[in-house]
Amino acid sequence: MLEADKLTRSFDEVAAVRNVSFRLEPGQIMALVGASGSGKSTLLSLLAGLTDADAGEVRLNHERVPGPSEVLVPGHPAIRLVHQEYQLMPNVSVRQNIAYAVRYYEPAYRDFRVNELLKRCHLTDVQDRLPRQISGGEKQRTAIARAVADKPAVLLLDEPFSHLDLPNRQIVRDMVFALVRQEQTACLFVTHDATDALSIAGSLGILRHGRLIQLDSPIAVYRRPVTAYAARMTGTVNVIRAKHLPALGVSSTKPADALCLIRPESVRLAETGVMATIRAVFFKGVHYEVEAEVSRYVCLRTLTTQDGLQPGQVIHLELDPSAIWWVNE
């Protein structure tokens, strides 16, 4: 089990990570989502034993993970961090990149393990190519295969999907999900795009200004975010002041400036209801996301499968009052 216990780290005036605590069990996937500069990379580096904490500690199976200033070779042998740039050895093949991680094992086991990983990571066909001769998705899979080759307890991934096109994102995402379950690795990945996080992570943390402001199941964070920031980090959301609710056909007893959220899927196009003028229509494949202006102060986003909607068109919207969620700023 990986534990972060009140981890804190500053750089000069900047508090990059503040008092972060959580636990991660073998076979679990945790995603950390946060805006640029929220402390994601610093937290990963602390967890990997590659950055010294100012306060707090990292523990693996109840033993403290030392920081780089305390050991000759920084980094814990059972904790692997895969960087965004993959850091593959450029002059040897995909197969040799993976085999290098298990070079101290018996040749028979080494070959078995490398073949197993090549298969699991869908790399068998490109195993003899050099890193520069493979795609970004294949490089990412090679880096992950190499990282897990000697069965580390913890796999840390820095933005594992960000450089990949959609098909490759899906392949890498599904592969990480299967690999972590099969090998019972504790996996934590950071991302600024929550769509990846929502689908494969068992738990989702929201990082803001170095603080872990929410840690819960992806469904709970999506439906009951603690702040508007946490809501935005997990998808499109309408953020509305209480004073504007009556104009949307919803009564409220909250203070005028209280903030509430409603997801676009809880705003419906209807025959009757609040009148709004379409400002923009975004085609999303499965549905359209429609932005409509209700008044000078309120714009709502809604989802629909209805074709043919045009900017300027007047529509009617209905809000599901039970889906309104009140938050702090």
Q: Please give the single-letter amino acid code of residue 127.
A: Q
40 touches ligand ATP (CB under 6 A): yes
CA distance 54 to 9: 5
Verify binding: residue 34, ligand ATP, rule CB under 6 A.
yes
Extract the tokens encoding 121.
Answer: 């990571």
Based on the shown chain and the rule CB under 6 A, indicate whether residue 208 belongs to the binding site for ligand ATP.
no
Sequence-distant (6+) residues with CB within 8 A of 48 are: 75, 76, 79, 80, 81, 156
- By CB under 6 A, residue 220 contacts ligand ATP: no
Site for ligand ATP in 227-256 (CB under 6 A): none
Quote the least distance from Cβ 263 to ligand ATP, whole Å.
Answer: 25
How far is residue 42's CA from residue 46's CA, in Å, rounded to a whole number? 6
11 binds ligand ATP (CB under 6 A): yes
By CB under 6 A, residue 191 contacts ligand ATP: no
Q: Which is nearer to ligand ATP, 164 or 274 (CB)?
A: 164
68 binds ligand ATP (CB under 6 A): no
Alpha-helix residue ranges (DSSP H) falling in the chain: 40-47, 94-100, 107-120, 136-148, 166-183, 194-200, 218-223, 228-233
Cβ closest to ligand ATP, residue 14 vs residue 323: 14
Nearer to ligand ATP, 34 or 137 (CB): 34
Query: For residues 305 and 144, what is the distance between their CA atoms, to the nearest angstrom?
Result: 38
Distances (CA, A) of 140 to 95, 158, 161, 271: 14, 11, 8, 49
Q: Residue from 26, 37, 68, 74 that binds ligand ATP (CB under 6 A)?
A: 37
Is residue 85 a contact residue for ligand ATP (CB under 6 A)? no
Q: How far apart are CA 195 and CA 201, in angstroms?
A: 10
Considering only 4, 39, 131, 221, the residue that binds ligand ATP (CB under 6 A) is 39
- Pair 42, 17: CB distance under 8 Å: yes
41 binds ligand ATP (CB under 6 A): yes
| Span of 23-31, 32-40, 68-76, 195-203 interacting with ligand ATP by CB under 6 A | 32-40
- The yes or no reply on residue 205 touching ligand ATP (CB under 6 A) is no
Q: Which two tokens stand for residue 81?
A: 């961090």
Residue 36 contacts ligand ATP per CB under 6 A: yes
34 or 131: whose CB is closer to ligand ATP? 34
Distances (CA, A) of 133 to 21, 100, 141, 171: 41, 19, 14, 19
User: Among 24, 33, 38, 144, which residue interacts with ligand ATP (rule: CB under 6 A)?
Assistant: 38
* CB of residue 215 to ligand ATP, shortest distance in Å: 16
Q: Which stretch binds ligand ATP (CB under 6 A): 9-17, 251-259, 266-274, 283-291?
A: 9-17
Q: Which residues contact 178 (CB under 8 A, 6 or more apart)?
A: 120
Site for ligand ATP, rule CB under 6 A: 11, 14, 16, 34, 36-42, 192
